[in-house]
Every structure is written in C-alpha cells, then in structure tokens.
C-alpha cells in the first residue's frame, strides 16, 4: 500500500495504462503543454509525446466525436472534459452515439471510451461551473457511470473503465483531488457496478457516493463518539449499473436509511436509491427513507451562500436524528437493548 492523493492516483493510473497498452491515449483541452487544469496529466506529454497526449480545441462535441470514432476502430481514448458542465456541449455525441452504437450495430462495433470529468461545488466557480449533473448520464442505457470517493477506488475504477469495452463516464469531485488514502500497489481493476460497505453498523444506513460518501463516513464517526450510534455506510461507487442488492441488504439489517447526494433533490440519484429500497426492503423499514441534497437553486458564487446551499455534515446529522426519532426515539435505547 502507498499513501497518495486522489489526484496522484489518477495520474499514476493513466501513466501505467499507457505503458501497458499502446492503444490507450489521452485527449482534452490543455492536458498536454499546460499539463491539465487540475494537473492530472502532468508530465505525460513529455513522456509519451503528442501522438498519445493530444491537446484539443475548445470544441467538446468535436473531440468527443473523434474519440468515439477512434474507439470504434480499436483504440482506447481517455477524454478529459474540463468540467462536467462542459459535457453538455457533447451531449449528442455521448448520449446519441457513444451509448447507442453497440446496440444499433448489433454488437459489430464497441466503444471502449472513458470520459473523465470533474464536478461539484464548494470552489466558488459559479452556477454554470459547479453542477452535479451525473443524473443526466446515469439515466442513459448504454453508458456506465462511476463516481469513486477514495484514491484506492479512483485507481481501481479507472483501471476498470479503461479496460472496459463500453463507454464509461468517470466522475471526479473537485473537493476530493487533495484527499489522501492508501492505494494498493497492484494493478487489479475494480468492479464497475459494485457498491462498498465502508463501515459496518446496525442502527441506520447512510448511502452516498463521491464527496457525500466522505460526509457519510464523517457523520458515522462523529455520532459513534458523541451518541454511541452504530452507523453503516454504503459507498455506491457506481451509478450505472447501480448496486441495488448491497443497498437493500444493508437496509434490511439496519431498518432505516438516509441517502446523501450533492445534486438536487428533485429527480436526483437519491430518489432512485430510495425507490429501490422501497421495492426491495419496504417491510423492513421502521421509518421513511430520508434524503439529503443541495438546495434547489443554481449554486451561488458567494462563499457563504454556496456553503449554505451544499449539503453538510450537520444536515446529515439532523436527518439521522429525525429518522431515528421517527421509530420511537431509538437514540435513547441504543446501547440498552443488547
């Protein structure tokens, strides 16, 4: 195991895959000479040259379409789109082409394409540069959508995405780039479509992904110390395919759940998770599933307003208390029923 940042895990994985497979190449705005807006591709142009680290024009639809064509011909492009907000400019290529080519051509062509893109608020980048619109892509059959929350998962899932024959949208939250964690030294790919139980517990289940999986772990640790709560944490890691089985099994054990997300509440990822729990574990629930999400507004630029709009640790703690109170103030009984 090596301790490194989320950013370094991505960089090292890209480099390792480029060394392993000459068909892997990178495309994106300012990823070469400038070494990327977030320095994920630092040093790769000097090492691999312009043929495999390709700076593109500011034309997301154009270079995404070019990458799809390259993938159909047997290459494995990894496209960096500077933020998920800019993927909207390539929406036709991603949704109408990358996601559908395999099915429309009866499996005669595959699209082994990875689109890496960061998103999320908290950086004072304004409403059009701070969105969490992963739902747009998780909605689309034919795409795979992953959202790692740790450096270890960033490596494992990026390995899996690059080696996958289907198009994969790889989500990176800006707030996670400098977070650190242990990363395995081997190059074993992760499993796309498999959630992780990152903390076992019996009182309530917290379900999140990307940054909110971190928040869930913080809440679980804080309430364990302050209230003696035994909270289970599920990190979704993959939004399509969605691992409903792991979520449902956890809720059957704890009988209560709170779903956390950085996107808007209405029609969000949390709504799909809550519906899945209702379908698979309704008879086990002691209280309705609660959801914590950002405010239903375009994210403000003002730091104080931006912070207020984003879901916080305190928001999650309040939702946990409300859920446990709904089942008979279990907080007072925890630790007395063993």
Dump pLDDT digits (tens) for 106-121: 999 999 999 999 999 9
Examine domains 2-183 and 196-329 and report if their fold is the same. yes
What is the fold of 2-183?
A: Rossmann fold (3.40.50)
Active site residue 332: no
| Positive or negative: CA dihedral 115, 51, 18, 176 | negative
pLDDT score for 136: 95
Contacts with 11 (C-beta within 8 Å, 6 or more apart), sequence order: 39, 40, 41, 42, 44
Dump pLDDT digits (tens) for 173-198: 999 999 999 999 999 999 999 999 99
Q: Is the pLDDT of residue 126 over 80?
A: yes
CB–CB of 23/29 below 8 Å? Answer: no
pLDDT score for 81: 97
Active site residue 11: no
Query: Which is more confidently placed, 17 or 331?
Result: 17
Q: How many CB atoms lie within 10 A of CB 298?
A: 12
pLDDT score for 326: 86
Catalytically annotated residue among 17, 29, 35, 60? 60
Dump pLDDT digits (tens) for 209-256: 999 999 999 999 999 999 999 999 999 999 999 999 999 999 999 999
Helix residue spans in the chain (DSSP H): 6-20, 44-48, 60-72, 91, 101-104, 135-138, 151-163, 211-227, 244-254, 269-281, 303-309, 313-326
Concatenated DSSP letters of 89-132? GGHIIIIIIITTHHHHTTTS-----EEEEEE-SSSS--GGGS--
Rg of the Cα atoms in the chain: 20
> CA angle, corner 22, sides to 183 and 158, nearest 5?
30
Question: Which range has the worst mean pLDDT, 100-104, 132-136, 237-241, 328-332?
Answer: 328-332
Distance CA 149, CA 79 (A): 20
At 185 the three-state DSSP class reads coil
- The overall average pLDDT reported for the chain is 95
Dump pLDDT digits (tens) for 51-66: 999 999 999 999 999 9
pLDDT score for 180: 95
Percentage of the chain lying above the pLDDT 90 cut = 95
* Residue in 276, 147, 156 with CA at minimum distance from that of residue 214: 147
The structural domains of the chain, with segments of one domain joined by +, span: 2-183, 196-329
- Cα 215 to its chain centre, rounded Å, is 14
Q: Over range 26-33, report the average pLDDT.
A: 96
CATH 3.40.470.10 matches 196-329:
no
* Residue in 180, 224, 176 with CA at minimum distance from that of residue 199: 224
Identify the band that residue 14 occupies on the pLDDT scale cut at 50, 70 and 90.
very high
Q: Does pTM surpass 0.75?
A: yes
Q: Is the pLDDT of residue 335 over 50?
A: no
Catalytically annotated residue among 97, 129, 134, 214? 129
* Residue in 235, 225, 227, 229 with CA at minimum distance from that of residue 202: 229
For residue 336, give the H/E element and its range. none
Q: Is the pLDDT of residue 333 over 50?
A: no
Q: Is the pLDDT of residue 288 over 60?
A: yes
pLDDT score for 332: 53
């Amino acid at each position: 195991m090596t301790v490194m940042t989320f950013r370094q895990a991505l960089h090292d994985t890209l480099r390792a895959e480029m060394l392993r497979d000459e068909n892997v190449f990178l495309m994106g705005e300012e990823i070469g000479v400038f070494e990327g807006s977030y320095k994920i591709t630092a040093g790769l142009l000097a090492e691999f040259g312009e043929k495999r680290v390709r700076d593109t024009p500011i034309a997301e639809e154009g270079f995404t379409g070019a990458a799809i064509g390259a993938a159909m011909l047997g290459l494995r492009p990894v496209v960096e789109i500077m933020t998920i907000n800019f993927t909207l400019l390539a929406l036709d290529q991603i949704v109408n082409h990358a996601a559908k080519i395999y099915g429309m051509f009866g499996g005669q062509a595959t699209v082994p394409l990875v689109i890496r893109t960061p998103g999320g608020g908290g950086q004072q980048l304004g409403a059009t540069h701070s969105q969490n619109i992963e739902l747009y892509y998780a909605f689309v059959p034919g795409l795979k959508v992953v959202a790692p929350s740790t450096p270890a998962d960033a490596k494992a899932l990026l390995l899996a995405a690059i080696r996958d024959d289907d198009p994969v949208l790889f989500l990176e939250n800006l707030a996670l780039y400098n977070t650190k964690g242990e990363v395995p030294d081997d190059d074993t790919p992760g499993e796309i479509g498999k959630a992780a139980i990152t903390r076992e517990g019996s009182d309530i289940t917290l379900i999140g992904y990307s940054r909110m999986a971190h928040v869930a772990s913080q809440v679980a640790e804080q309430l364990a110390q302050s209230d003696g709560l035994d909270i289970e944490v599920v990190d979704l890691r993959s939004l399509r395919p969605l691992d409903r089985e792991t979520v449902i099994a956890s809720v059957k054990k704890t009988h209560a759940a709170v779903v956390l997300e950085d996107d808007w509440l209405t029609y969000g990822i949390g709504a799909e998770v809550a519906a899945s729990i209702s379908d698979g574990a309704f008879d086990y629930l002691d209280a309705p599933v609660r959801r914590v999400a950002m405010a239903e507004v375009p994210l403000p630029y003002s730091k104080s307003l931006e912070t207020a709009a984003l879901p916080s640790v305190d928001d999650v703690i309040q939702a946990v208390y409300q859920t446990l109170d709904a089942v008979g103030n279990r907080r007072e009984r925890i630790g007395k029923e063993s």
